[in-house]
Structures are given as structure tokens and as C-alpha cells.
Amino acid sequence: MRLVFMGTPESAVPSLGCLLSDGHEVVAVWTQPDRPAGRGNKLHQSPVKEFAVSHNLTVHQPLKIKTPAAKELFESHQADAAIVVAYGRILPPDFLSAPRQGCINVHFSLLPKYRGAAPVNWAIVAGEKETGVSTMRIVEELDAGPVLLQRATEIGESETAPELMKRLAEIGAELLSETLKGIANIELKPQRIEDATFAPILKREDGRIDWAMDAAAIERRVRGFQPWPSAHTTLKSRRLIIRRATPETLEQTTSSAGFVIEAHGDNLIICCGSGTALRVLELQSEDSRRMSARDFLNGAHLKVGDVLGQDLSHA
């Protein structure tokens, strides 16, 4: 098939690679413009652009796509279909009708659940036991198009969002290959609107820990909000990121939420809501590296009775 590929992050690269392996003609790759990042704010190419350039593919990076020039460029590809994997922009109606077989999206959830920008993160945070990948035809309403194929996978008990995303990216590439091979015979399945849930774009404040929550819910945020915005709290007005933790049940406690009930050796335990506690295994303070609880306690002035999250002005 003659295809346009539209994607930006690392999670989109396996799908693009699969299209080439399957022998499709990728006439153009659309990806987000190079962005300043890191020290010195040097411009960095997206992972999709790096892959495309290394395979001598034509790359387009328009600053805006809702323009006559972008529409004309997109239509000029005369593609059979456009494949969209985490491109980062909502396609205007003129784009959806330009390819002969429309635009096909690889979405990292079992639609209609978790429509939106961050389905992997919110599935972990919500405590889902499984998630998956859907291929669908794109319509104007966000992630509401009819589904072509789906494949489910279990979410590991300790799996983080980046770990799960890496697995789903590979599953998505396989599912895309299967979709395109059978595109003429696959029956489109309309989504049940009553089953739809939303996975909104992540905000910095989403990562702020509410210690009154159940420890299991906090631990899911630790895993689900990686690599950003991270599950964070404050310690004496300084931001503290929890990187790895496990929930525990307290037999009895008179401590309030956020209260440090143990801080010695390998043991850093914080009181949470509903008679639970969070055992912190790895964490990271402002302007410091990620470290074990033992290493952190060796250098930090943290003791039993301290309360995390009291000063949220810098969280």
C-alpha cells in the first residue's frame, strides 16, 4: 500500500518499522517539529524523525496543520491510507478524507475505554488488570471511530507506564501489520459510547500525592505517572519524587496521613489513608539523583514524626 505515516515518540517507531518490513511504500513521514531539550536547549529530533532519516524516508514537520499549505501537501501524497501513531495533533476533517482508505490510528487502549492523550498512564492509575491496543478508522470526534482490530494484554503488578508502553508499542506494530493485511475483509465495529472513558493529557498537579489516599492507589500513581509528572510530595518545602514503592496494611495506627512512621536502614514507611502505609523503595529529591531509601536516609535529615506534603506550595 502507498502510505503516509504520522507519529512522533518512541512508541510510534515499531509501527513505522513494521510498515517497511511488510513492504509498504511509505511516501512521507509527518512528525512534530524539532524541540529544544536538555542543557543548552539544543534542538532534538523526534524518535520517529531519527528513524525515518536513517531509512531515507521523506520527512515533513509543519508547525501547523490547519493551513491550506499543509492540506495541499497532505493531499499531494495521493496515499491509500494514512497511519497515525501518537502524532500529537488532531487531524482536521480535510485530512481524514484525503487518503483513499482514510486514516487509521493505532491507539494504546481497548477502545472505547481510555480515549485521549494518556491511556497507558490512566489505565495503571485506575488499577486496570489488562489493557491493550486498538486499530481504528479516525473520525472527527476524539478516538471515537469504528474499531478494526484489538489485542489485549495483562498489566504486570509492578509494571510502570514506560515499561507497559514499550510492550504495547510492539503489540501495536503487530496489530497494524495484521490490520493492513486484512483491511479488505475486516468488519468495522462501532464503539459503544456508553462504555467510553477518558484519559486526559497529564498535568503537573496530577502527580501530587494525597497521603490520605489508600497506599495501593498511591503506588499505582508512582508507576502510572512515570516518566512525567511523577508522583511527588514535599519534604520541608522541597520537592520529593517517589520512584518505587509498595503498599502495606497497618494493624493499627494513630498517625495521620503523610506521617513518617519508620525511617531507618532500608525502611522508609509513610502513613496513608484507610489503615495503610507506603513503603518507599526508591526516591529522588530536588537536584539529586534517584536513590534507594537507605542511601536517601543516610544523607537526609528525615526522622519518625516528620510529615510529608505539609507545604505544597512547591509541589
pLDDT at 176: 98
**In the prediction, which pLDDT does 237 show?**
86
Closest CA to 310 of 245, 262, 240: 240
- Given a contact cutoff of 8 angstroms between Cβ atoms, the answer to whether 16 and 52 are in contact is yes
- DSSP letters spanning 106-125: EESSSTTTTBSS-HHHHHHH
The segments of the chain whose pLDDT lies below 50 read 312-315
- Which residues on adjacent β-strands are paired with residue 260? 270
User: Nearest Cα to 111, choosing from 142, 82, 76?
Assistant: 142
The C-alpha atoms of residue 236 and residue 309 are separated, in whole angstroms, by 8
pTM of the full structure = 0.95
To which residue does cell 536516609 refer? 297
Q: Where are the alpha helices (DSSP H) in 39-79?
A: 47-54, 68-76
Residue 232: its pLDDT value, please?
98
> What was the pLDDT predicted at 38?
73
pLDDT tens-digit readout, 94-138: 999 999 999 999 999 999 999 999 999 999 999 999 999 999 999
Domains of the chain: 2-195 (3.40.50.170), 204-299 (3.10.25.10)
The 10 Å CB-count burial string (b at 16+, else e) for 243-253 is bbbebeeeeee
Looking at residue 315, its pLDDT comes to 41
